[in-house]
Amino acid sequence: MVVANPWDLVSGPNAAGYCWAIFVTLEIVAQEMLNGPKKSAHCFVNFPRLQQITNIQADINQKNLEIELLRLEKDTADIVHPSFLAQKCHTLQSMNDHLEAVLNEKRSLRQRLLKPLCQENLPVEAVYHRYLGHLLDLAVAFTERLETHLETI
């Protein structure tokens, strides 16, 4: 029993043949593609080559990962280098010494912070600074008038 190829245009009018005829007339598919050599399993001819390309790409990806790990190791190597750690230890030690000195002076610092500021100066908020000059002029004028009134009395 011979089975006819449903994609063959000569085998008779069927849906597949009709579709291929339309593709050929619209020049989507060339007639040479349909009449090409009838070798079996075209995809298996290049299979070893494709397998080799896939293996090479996997090796390239593996090497790229190894390179990235080496770069990361190189970038972090100077962080854990003994000289860098010694510098960091020295900085931490100086900060520790400073904090110990602050704790030793805690009593004097506490007394200075508890001392009221109103006995030494009167702080003026920044929004009132522009009125302060005018207020001083008024205060000077008031004291002058007060002195003149006292002299007259």
| Distance of alpha carbon 84 from alpha carbon 76, whole angstroms | 11
pLDDT band at 1 (very low <50, low <70, confident <90, very high): very low
Mean pLDDT of 17-35: 70
The more confident residue out of 114 and 9 is: 114
Average pLDDT in the chain:
77
Report the alpha-carbon angle 36-42-45, nearest 5.
135
Give the global pTM.
0.30
**pLDDT for residue 115:** 73
Residue 111's Cβ-side half-sphere holds a number of Cα atoms within 13 Å equal to: 3
> What is the rounded average pLDDT of the residues 26-30?
70
- Residue 43 is classified by DSSP as G
pLDDT at 78 over 80: no
Enclosing H/E stretch for 58: helix 47-77
Amino acid symbol at 16: A
Q: Within a 13 Å sphere around the CA of 89, how many CA atoms are in the beta-carbon half?
A: 7
Q: Which of 40, 26, 19 is nearest to 9 (CA)?
A: 19
pLDDT of residue 57: 94
Residue 29's pLDDT is: 66
Most confident of 33-42, 70-79, 92-101: 92-101
